[in-house]
Amino acid sequence: MTLKHKHSLYLAVGLIVIVLVIIKLSNKNLNPEVKDNQGQPNITQTDNSKITTNTQMLTGKLQASDNAQRGNLMLITEEQTIYLYTSRDYAHLIDSPVNVEIKGTVDNFSLIDISAK
């Protein structure tokens, strides 16, 4: 292989790498993170069959979390303890009976709101 052919080969490989990087970056920007009206990030999913649109109301006592890695608040219900993480201030509701509105299932949800019962 001559020197001219090697330079052409390196140039072609370099162009292919540049094009692949541009395609990857443009695909990343097609699915941006969506934020709800309180500024909380929502999980975006590309598989529409897995998107959960149901909302449900949970009732229990709101407590400060006993495990910061699982959440900063926890809801104690009759059936279970559910850990919540939010940047919103619900300190005035701690140790009170509350209604917690969530979107999704108890195992995988987005917090909509916490209100006094």
- Check residue 88 and give left, alpha or beta (phi > 0: left; psi -120 to 50: alpha): beta
pLDDT tens digit string along 2-61?
A: 777 778 888 888 888 888 888 777 765 554 444 444 444 444 444 444 554 578 899 999
Which amino acid type is present at position 97? P
For the ranges 52-56, 65-69, 75-79, which has the lowest average pLDDT? 52-56
Bridge partners (DSSP) of residue 114 are 100
84 vs 51 pLDDT, higher one:
84
Helix (H) or strand (E) holding 60: strand 55-64
Which has the closest alpha carbon to 56: 109, 115, 95, 116? 109
